[in-house]
Homo-oligomer: A and B are copies of this chain.
């Protein structure tokens, strides 16, 4: 465990799928905080917060230190970066597909699909 960041995209995405956990992450983006501090804004029990933190930690989104009986949490931005990387990469592929738009349009013409209204003027 220790400084593990073998966290999967699965665990990172699903950690961030919960609004409470996203709020915690957003809060931690401004600096580290203890469990009680993180719990304060929410209307749920401390054990629930504790489990949210465990999920975040498992996803590599936070790490925890120790200060007496407190366990201050810290954001690990690399996990965020992983999300960004995947998303931007996918987005880029999506944009790139327009490179083949010409071919695509030609395909449309040479292979007439079952279009009933064939009077549509394909603009090229």
Binding site for B on A (CB under 8 A): 9-10, 13-14, 16-19, 22, 25-26, 28-31, 67-68, 75, 77, 80-81, 83-84, 86-88, 90-91, 93-95, 97, 100, 104, 113-114
Task: State the main secondary structure of chain A at its contact with B.
Answer: helix
Residue of B nearest to A86 (CB): B22
27 contacts between A and B (CB under 8 A): A9-B19, A10-B17, A10-B18, A13-B13, A13-B14, A13-B17, A13-B22, A14-B14, A22-B86, A26-B90, A26-B93, A29-B90, A29-B91, A29-B97, A30-B93, A30-B97, A31-B97, A31-B100, A67-B113, A67-B114, A68-B114, A77-B91, A80-B87, A81-B91, A83-B83, A83-B87, A84-B84
